[in-house]
Each structure stands twice: as structure tokens, then as C-alpha cells.
Structure 1
């Protein structure tokens, strides 16, 4: 398996298992579990890697999956596809929770956001330039 795919797989497994991916991560984990079960059925070593993922490091879970992928070219392709698609999904569909609470007193501009692409400008624009 290509080292870049292994790195992507490790990052995705880490985000999903660690909870950083929110609801999108739960869905992704469900699709990985389904992929593994379709391919390996009740193979204890592989399914245990997923069932016990919260007690293992993401690297260890990834290693078990990669070891299986090395022995099965079809699973390797499916796993690489899953990792790539899930990485793209998690970049765009993550939960954002912005909160101002308690006894907060806001006297100015507040911006709450998730991902921002482009500029965020706060303030009043100056007068237009004179051309002469």
C-alpha cells in the first residue's frame, strides 16, 4: 500500500476514533465497519481491530487494516478508496459549535465560524481614492 494512503488512513482513523470528526466521523466509521465485515465476515483479527479501536492507538488499528490489505488486493483498493473519500468528506463536513454563554457581554463585532475561505474584513471602508 502506498505510504501516502497509509498516512491518510491513519489520519482519518485518528479523527474518527478520537471524536474530532463528529457526526460525519460516526457515519464514516459505520461505512468502514461495513466494508470490513463484507470482506472478512467474522474474521476475529480484523473485526476486533474495529470493535476495540477505542482501546488501541489509531496507528495500531491502521496497521491491522494495512496488514490485511497487503494480503488482499481487492480490500487494499477498497480501503484506499474509503480513506481518500472519507478524508475529503471530513474536510468539508465537520461539526462546528460556536457559543457565547454565561454572563458574556458583547460590545463589539463577533464572528463565529467554522472553515473560512477568503478574507474576513472588519471595519468601515475608507473613502474612495481620487484619481486625477
Structure 2
């Protein structure tokens, strides 16, 4: 599976699980679980449904895709189509202005998947 698909897959799953995609997201989840069920069976569906985070769900899917090129192609297509449908946008504007006085680290970001660490904590 092309590694560049993984962040989009994670973002799509996050939007679906977080409810941001509404009814389209519910339909997309049904579609995804159907793809997994047809290819790998009910146990595989249970594995993605019980994942604790969208990142874990995506990782489980990526592992299956790495072992099955046909599924990788299907998952890549599903991700692209679903991202379009749920209209995931990455337009982010961050501004520090005026009399702002910065005395420590600053992070300006859009979607963040995973931990952010600025170094040792005191």
C-alpha cells in the first residue's frame, strides 16, 4: 500500500468515528466494514470495530492491505472516494499577532494524529 494514503485513511476514519461526517460517515463505515467482511470475514470486522482509536483502526487496515495487494487497491480507492464524500479539508490558518509575547514553544497545526512532545517536562 502506498504510504501516502495512510494519513488520508486515518483522517477519514477520524471524521467517521468522531461523527463529523454525519450520515455520509455512517454509510461510509458500513461500506468499509462490508469491504473488510467480504475479504477477511467477520473476525476482521470485529478487530477494526473494537480498535481504541482511529489510528489503530487505520493501522489494522494497513497491515491487511500490506499482505493483500487486491485489498490495498480497494482500500486506496475507498479512501479517496470517501475523503471526497466527507469533504475532509485541510485548510488551516494559524496566526500569532499583535502584542503577542512568546516565551516558549509554539505549535501551529491542522490535524494532528499522535503525540506532540516539546521535550523533557520539569
> TM-score of the superposition, structure 2-length normalised?
0.68
Q: Which runs of 5 or more residues in structure 1 are unaligned? A: 93-132
Residue 81 of structure 1 corresponds to: 77
Deviation for aligned residue 1:49:
2.7
Query: RMSD of the TM alignment (CA)?
Result: 1.4
Deviation for aligned residue 1:89:
0.7
Residue 52 of structure 1 corresponds to: 50
Separation of aligned partners in 1, 2:47 and 2:23: 21
Separation of aligned partners in 2, 1:69 and 1:5: 11
Residue 17 of structure 1 corresponds to: 17
Does residue 2 of structure 2 align to residue 6 of structure 1? no
Residue 32 of structure 1 corresponds to: 32
SS in 2 for 1:48: helix
- Which 4+ residue blocks in structure 1 deviate beyond 6 angstroms? none
Structure 1 segment 92-131 matched on structure 2, within 5 A: none
Deviation for aligned residue 1:10:
0.4
SS in 2 for 1:29: helix
Separation of aligned partners in 2, 1:80 and 1:48: 21
Q: Which runs of 5 or more residues in structure 2 are unaligned? A: 89-122
Separation of aligned partners in 2, 1:26 and 1:59: 18
SS in 2 for 1:88: helix
SS in 1 for 2:4: helix
Bigger radius of gyration: 1
Deviation for aligned residue 1:52:
1.5
> TM-score of the superposition, structure 1-length normalised?
0.63
